[in-house]
Amino acid sequence: MTALPHPSPTIRARGCSETDVLKERGQREVFCGLTGIVWLHRKLQDAFFLVVGSRTCAHLIQSAAGVMIFAEPRFATAIMEERDLAGLADANEELDRIVAQLLERRPDIKLLFLVGSCPSEVIKLDLARAAARLSQAYMPRVRIINYSGSGIETTFTQGEDACLAALAKELPQAEDDDRSLLIAGALSDVVEDQFRVIFHNLGITNVAILPPRRCVALPSVGPATRFLLAQPFLRDTARALEERGAKHVPAPFPFGAEGTTEWLRAAADSYHVDTQRFDTVVAAPRARARKALKPHRLRLSGKRIFFFPDSQLEVPLARFVWQELGMSPIEVGTPYLHRQHLIQELALLPSDIVLSEGQDVDKQLDRCRRGNPDLVVCGLGLANPLEAEGIATKWSIELLFTPIQGYEQAGDLAELFARPLNRRARLEV
Ligand code: SF4
């Protein structure tokens, strides 16, 4: 087994948990929370996402979803026309009519999300009230829940947080002594299945996932529920689960061999799993992950990397590239820094990086150019101009759409960072 290049003990002890955060509140270049529908609709197979928005919102989701064509799609936009926006039409009546048509045509829908957008927010359409009214009308056939994906209120991954927080409030109540482990955060099915096998081998049996694949199987939650976050952007979801009595199990995030081990260890410790059993269960997949990382580490070690704030995955990913690939983060930007959920990741980062929250895009571009990184992780809007300046980029959205959590995906995750550099090297040759 090959030892991983760990940061020096002095740096490791301090990490950047106490590093001053550069807070920026200028212009930002981030998608809105509607984007989350693209991966959530694939996960929740009996749910439907009805965006109450404009043609712009419809275009955003269609283009983010790319060429995916379904015989029966699981998202759509109820387009608000000029008459609605000018207050000339009763938007509630229009919405009721569209929902009635949709549910008549699609009896397979068991859960309907009414998703707010900038236009619905601007005209102050009360979607919570509409969801309550419609839920009553269609009970018990369909459950109707609302959340906001508007660009005024949410960035990119906050859409998933808002969706899961809304769902968390609807979960059935568990008995006080009904012990369970809840994994919060949308994971691809393959990753979910791998984790289930490992939890089973650890003897942790009552494991549920939020969101579940089918909403008819919503997990129950109560004081004996322990929850582990699979994604770092779930602040409101965590709060909603805590309000239901569940207890958060603090852990790093399951990226790479080490992140995955520590994430699983946190769950195992909360279930008092014997250390020897834990080591035995994780030994083989951990060794496979380390082996898969090795060639990428040889290629990437020492490369400088700059993260623009986009997905909120930036801090755990920076930890992964630093700890497991030997890359050097220059700046790690994130739209929001939830210190409480990131404390263990921050402790593993070097203390001499710039840690920034929010964005002032021009100033950040200047810092990026001055830093002269080998690789920049950023949103789509910044990637093309930076590439044109000769800087290799990785689209952060790809890190959301690709299965990257867990041992078996460690090599694929590293490959995502290596690919832009390999491509650029080929072009230079
Ligand atoms: Fe644009 Fe707002 Fe619609 Fe998002 S919700 S696509 S930011 S109009």
Give the three-state DSSP class for 183: strand
One-character DSSP codes across 256-325: HHHHHHHHHHHHHHHTT--HHHHHHHHHHHHHHHHHHHHHHHHHHTT-EEEE-SSSS-HHHHHHHHHHTT
Instruction: Compute the distance from residue 151 Cα to the ligand 1 centre, in Å.
Output: 5
Burial-class residue 153 by CB neighbours within 10 Å (0-12, 13-18, 19+): middle
Task: Tell which one of 31, 60, 152 to mutate to probe ligand 1, the residue whose CB is within 8 A of the most ligand atoms.
Answer: 60
How confident is the prediction for the chain on average, in pLDDT? 90
* CB-based contacts of 301, cutoff 8 Å, min separation 6: 5, 325, 326, 327
Q: CB of 308 within 8 A of CB of 378?
A: yes
Instruction: Compute the distance from residue 21 Cα to the ligand 1 centre, in Å.
Output: 29
Indicate if ligand 1 lies below 6 Å from the C-beta of 35: no
Interatomic CA distance for residues 275 and 282, integer angstroms: 11
Q: Residue 83 — φ and ψ, nearest 5°? A: -60, -40
| Total-model pTM | 0.92
Relative to beta strand 304-307, strand 375-378 is: parallel
Two structure tokens written together for 32:
């809105």
**What is the reported pLDDT for 86?**
65
Indicate if ligand 1 lies below 6 Å from the C-beta of 350: no
**What is the reported pLDDT for 168?**
97
**What is the reported pLDDT for 63?**
78
Two structure tokens written together for 359:
């964005």
Give the three-state DSSP class for 409: helix
Q: Residue 168 — φ and ψ, nearest 5°? A: -60, -35
Q: Enter the DSSP assignment of 250.
A: -
Place of tokens 């609302």: 146
In single-letter form, the type of residue at position 363 comes to K
Task: Tell which one of 28, 57, 77, 80 to mutate to probe ligand 1, the residue whose CB is within 8 A of the most ligand atoms.
Answer: 57
Give the residues of the chain that fall short of pLDDT 50.
1-13, 67
Task: Tell which one of 62, 150, 154 to mutate to probe ligand 1, the residue whose CB is within 8 A of the most ligand atoms.
Answer: 150
